[in-house]
Amino acid sequence: MPTPSKPLAGLKVIELGTLIAGPFASRICAEFGAQVIKVESPDGGDPLRKWRKLYEGTSLWWFVQARNKQSLTLNLKHAEGIEVLKKLLADADILIENFRPGVLEKLGLGWDTLHSLNPKLVMVRLSGFGQTGPMKDQPGFGAVGESMGGLRYITGFEDRPPVRTGISIGDSIAALWGVIGALMALRHREVNGGAGQVVDVALYEAIFAMMESMVPEFDVFGFIRERTGNIMPGITPSSIHTSADGKHVQIGANGDAIFKRFMQAIGRQDLADDPTLASNDGRDLRRDELYAVIDRWARSVPLDALLQVLNDAQVPASRIFSAEDMFSDPQFLAREMFLQAKLPDGKPFKMPGIVPKLSATPGSSEWVGPELGAHTEQLLGELGYDAPDIARLRAQGAV
């Protein structure tokens, strides 16, 4: 069980989520000490168990996404399965669910019912479009949220169709908002003497909230931000360049003093001293010229030497890291961003480390994602079911 030194120790979280958004939110809670009980269907469980690269039939992603969680199988189409869930929720602190709006209501588990059952319960609801509005009943994955929320429109090159980011970023951002909302609700409950409440997170709004100055720029100037590839219009220079050995590097030299040091470091004192380039607005007017200069310099220097020049000049820069690059990088290693764990057959493997770093009450990974229903008997026993009761529930298909 979670150790009491973690900041969320003592909290009981029930997860009714599948795939990414809900499970990622509860994973964060589990890493920082909450007891997370993941309720899964007895018929195969979370589909994430079979997503992407499988090891001995189980997704490697699963072992990370479900770490520190307990797996309880319940058939929510069975009346006794619903009764078990209600007993779990009666003393829970947080319920995290990412069903389509209305699903829990059809099961007799809507907010009014749950709030009456447990007035202190915080209910985190993650869905494509939220619990209200004309689109609330439509299905919506993270990709749809990224499209509607504005991210896909601005991602890619101006002369090509929009592209996706390499991960399911919409789901993960929504999960973060869900955790933030849950902690706010707990703060209200515990410090202000309030009751539990609903945290309603829509995937498209989770992305929309990250869109920086998009709204006022359109409202005031009628300006629509478009795809711009690797550069950042209005913030110059900041882009990706290619070294002499064909490696890619991000260089961010858009600060006034940084730009001057950068130009001096690459032998362009004339540009460093040019008064029209002393501030960002002047540099942005000549960005094509500046990017051509930087491109020519980058193509003449191998990556390691290029990074050394930039580091010596204190210019923010980084190679574009692959997973292979990360595994041997001193910064990743010093920050313990790879945790050693074991797969069920004992094979060692690495998992991503814990974020954020807390100095006094850090999170940790105690065990990897469990087998389906691994904790069913234990948890039912804690709820007061004896061995004959559990056997009966199994025979009836409730668990």
pLDDT at 5: 86
Half-sphere exposure of 144 (CA within 13 A, CB side): 10
Same domain assignment for residues 20 and 124: yes
Please calculate the CA angle 176-179-185 and round it to the nearest 5 degrees.
140
Domain boundary among 294, 319, 344: 319
> Which residues, including other chains, have CB under 8 Å from residue 198's CB and lie 6 or more apart?
111, 123, 125, 131
Could you tell me if residue 134 is inside a domain?
A: yes
How many structural domains compose the chain?
2
Contact 228, 163 (CB under 8 A): no
CATH of residue 368's domain is 3.40.50.10540
Residue type, 318: S
Q: How many residues does the chain have?
A: 399
Could you tell me if residue 49 is inside a domain?
A: yes
- What is the C-alpha to C-alpha distance for residues 375 and 392, in angstroms, rounded to an integer? 17
Catalytic position from the list 43, 112, 159, 171: 171
> 188 by DSSP, 3-state: which?
helix
What is the residue-level pLDDT of the chain in tens, covering all 399 positions? 555 589 999 999 999 989 999 999 999 999 999 999 999 999 999 999 999 999 999 999 999 999 999 999 999 999 999 999 999 999 999 999 999 999 999 999 999 999 999 999 999 999 999 999 999 999 999 999 999 999 999 999 999 999 999 999 999 999 999 999 999 999 999 999 989 999 999 999 999 999 999 999 999 999 999 999 999 888 999 999 999 999 999 999 999 999 999 999 999 999 999 999 999 999 999 999 999 999 999 999 999 999 999 999 999 999 999 999 999 999 999 999 999 999 999 999 999 999 999 999 999 999 999 999 999 999 999 999 999 999 999 999 999
CATH of residue 311's domain is 3.30.1540.10
**Residue carrying the six token digits 């309030």:** 194
Counting Cβ atoms within 10 Å, is residue 175 exposed (0-12), middle (13-18) or buried (19+)? buried
Could you tell me if residue 230 is inside a domain?
A: no
pLDDT at 125: 98
Nearest to 122 by CA among 188, 204, 34, 39: 188
Same domain assignment for residues 363 and 246: no
Tell me if residue 171 is catalytic: yes
pLDDT at 2: 52
Contact 344, 56 (CB under 8 A): yes
Domain range holding 179? Answer: 12-210+336-396
- What is the C-alpha to C-alpha distance for residues 370 and 379, in angstroms, rounded to an integer? 14
Contact 18, 46 (CB under 8 A): yes
